[in-house]
Amino acid sequence: MSEVYDLLIIGGGPAGLSSAIYGSRSKLKTLVLESKSKMGGQVADYHEMENYPGVVDTTAPELVESFEEHARKFGTEFAKGEVKELELDGFIKTVKTKKGEEYKAKSIVLATGAEPRKLGCEGEAEFKGKGVSYCATCDADFFHDLHVVVVGNGNSAIEEAIYLTKFAAKVTIIVIHEEGKMDAEKLFQERAYANDKIEFVWNSTLQEVKGEGIVETAVLKNVKTGEKTEMDCDGIFIFIGRVPSTDFLEDTDVELTEGGYIKADEDMKTTVPGVYAAGDVRDKVVRQVVTAAGDGATAAVMAQSYLEAEEHWRDNVLKTDKQVVVAFWNPTQDDSLNTLQDIEELGVEADETKKLVKIDTYRNRLITNRYNITKVPTVLIIESGEEVERVENPTEEELARILN
């Protein structure tokens, strides 16, 4: 069997690298699997970085480099590969790449991100990070008293355009529909119409981006007449949606939204035990470097808790030859405390043929949910890894019966 990692992180952006730092620092054998030649995800394609808390003077590549260096300091391993398939059944999970490599891990963090949907027009890729942007919150501050163009007319486009007016002198929104028609909700439309800094160009798309080193001109095309016009501008913000990188999850039990984002709770847990999601690939509202890093840290901490609970259960319950008495309890409930006292008085811990395992239902939701424990106290008798008896709210007589 190949080497088994405690934590395998798919994606080397801020979420993945943050997860690696926390995982490796907790002594988990950690691997980051990144499909691109360099770490950083979307951030690696930008230069300026002014809104990461506590880091006043840095660039995006420098920040990502420090993330990676920090992870390596604690022993994180790195590998290059694009994931093709996941096998998530069982405790040991398998990750297969398009080149045929296989990696095995006990827990996985999915941090593959979400790419802004591209127009694909001429000059767009060339000027990305040099005036072409996909994030107003990230880059608006660079366009103080300048003219910027916004492409898109959905909720996010109009909301971002309004945000840009706090910085730019003028914002021109390019709308593919006829005058007065937008995809955004009426509330956003009304706010945009009422903003003196916003102007609209209707029935048009962005055809080309021009400039000498930085954005200087937006070439627009009228979708009705085919006429092309050039508009001087200092920046172009494109908001036509995002595409999460989740194609490799289609044949797994990881639940996705209609838009393809991963459904995960506030603990970053997905619908598959031991699999977590962090960063822009997760169904969330705010997508910033700082929130991605927070997601990654949470995912690693939860993965560590999962491994501790799972391995303790496997070693002390599923693999033992003894009869296991599992007491599910809550330390705040008198009935639970009384049941534990009754079990101790029956001498279970002194019996060499039995083993007592206590599960705090508040702290260990993994095992609690797996065995469908809905009431506490509950006592299970497990033999050879299989449940043979269950008693909810046991009386002293019932305990004496099942323990003797």
Mean pLDDT by 10 residues, the chain (404 residues): 89 96 98 89 68 83 91 97 95 96 97 91 95 90 97 92 96 96 94 97 97 97 96 96 91 94 96 96 89 97 95 93 95 94 92 94 90 96 95 94 90
Q: What is the CATH number of domain 132-238?
A: 3.50.50.60
Query: Which residues of the chain form CATH 3.50.50.60?
Result: 4-115+242-313, 132-238
Strand pairing category for 217-222 and 242-244: unpaired
Query: Which residues of the chain form CATH 3.40.30.10?
Result: 320-403
Catalytic residues: 135, 138-139
- Any idea which residue has 């016009």 for tokens? 229
- Any idea which residue has 């001087």 for tokens? 232
State the chain's mean pLDDT as an integer.
93
Q: Residue 218 in contact with residue 230, Cβ under 8 Å?
A: yes
How confident is the model over 257-312, as pLDDT tens digits?
998 999 999 999 999 999 999 999 999 988 888 999 999 999 999 999 999 999 99
Q: What is the per-residue pLDDT for 1?
A: 46
Query: DSSP letter at 143?
Result: G
Distance from C-alpha of 231 to C-alpha of 216, rounded to nearest angstrom: 9
Respond yes or no on whether the N-terminal peptide bond of residue 14 is cis (omega within 30° of 0).
Answer: no
* Residues sharing a CB contact under 8 Å with residue 339, sequence separation 6 or more, in sequence order: 327, 329, 377, 379, 394, 399
Q: Where are the alpha helices (DSSP H) in 219-361?
A: 289-313, 334-345
Q: What is the per-residue pLDDT for 248?
A: 95
Q: What is the per-residue pLDDT for 262?
A: 97
Token pair in block for residue 379: 């006592």
Please report, for residues 11, 16, 264, 288, the alpha-carbon distance to residue 63 in angstroms, rounded to integers and kept in the order given: 16, 14, 27, 14
Query: DSSP letter at 314?
Result: I
Please report, for residues 29, 244, 338, 392, the alpha-carbon distance to residue 374 in angstroms, rounded to integers and kept in the order given: 34, 36, 18, 9
Distance from C-alpha of 334 to C-alpha of 205, rounded to nearest angstrom: 68
Please report, for residues 85, 162, 175, the alpha-carbon distance to residue 149 in angstroms, rounded to integers and kept in the order given: 40, 12, 11
Q: What is the CATH number of domain 4-115+242-313?
A: 3.50.50.60
Token pair in block for residue 16: 């993945």
Distance from C-alpha of 233 to C-alpha of 344, rounded to nearest angstrom: 77
Distance from C-alpha of 194 to C-alpha of 162, rounded to nearest angstrom: 10
Token pair in block for residue 363: 């702290």
Q: What is the per-residue pLDDT for 133?
A: 95
Q: Residue 37 in contact with residue 82, Cβ under 8 Å?
A: no
Q: Residue 64 in contact with residue 48, Cβ under 8 Å?
A: no
Pick the CATH number of 320-403 from 2.60.120.260, 3.90.1300.10, 3.40.30.10, 3.40.50.150: 3.40.30.10
**In a 3-state reduction of DSSP, which class is residue 321?**
coil
Distance from C-alpha of 357 to C-alpha of 312, rounded to nearest angstrom: 10
Task: Write the burial class of residue 1 (CB in 10 Å: 0-12 exposed, 13-18 middle, 19+ buried).
Answer: exposed
Hey, what long-range contacts does 48-53 have (CB within 8 A, 24 or more apart)? Answer: 48/139, 48/142, 49/289, 50/141, 51/137, 51/138, 51/288, 51/289, 51/290, 52/289, 52/290, 53/290
